[in-house]
Structure 1
Amino acid sequence: MPRRTDLQKILVIGSGPIVIGQAAEFDYSGAQACKVLLEEGFEVVLVNSNPATIMTDPEFATATYIEPLL
């Protein structure tokens, strides 16, 4: 798939509230997506409702917002 040159900033939405046995997979996937997007030169804006995830680490996004998602 060719790279889109019209995109500069990408919004990544966190996986939501933690459910026992489920959160780690989605958190890891989201963190890896953010990491790759940053390496490719995109600005990454992350919105997540859980501050205790690895995704909210400052190295994974250009801007991080920890807000309740309804």
Structure 2
Amino acid sequence: MLIMMATRLIELHCVLKPTGSLWLHCDPNSSHYLKLMLDGIFEPHNFRNEIIWRRSHPKGHAFTRFASNHDTLH
């Protein structure tokens, strides 16, 4: 998945205007990997903020693990 995303993010970097913005919606399992990738492609000083929201109906089984109840925007 990361190789596929790297290819797309590099292409987006090439076509995005200097004043443009990119919003990346991802799950908590890959958000830290994608953040490092975005920093490598777009440079860390261009990062503005991270938005995390909690779902009202989380996925997962309460008996076997904690529910997956949030998503991340970078």
- For the aligned pair, the TM-score class normalised by the smaller chain equals 0.3 to 0.5
Bigger fraction of residues in helix: 2
Larger Rg: 2
TM-score, with length taken from structure 1: 0.38
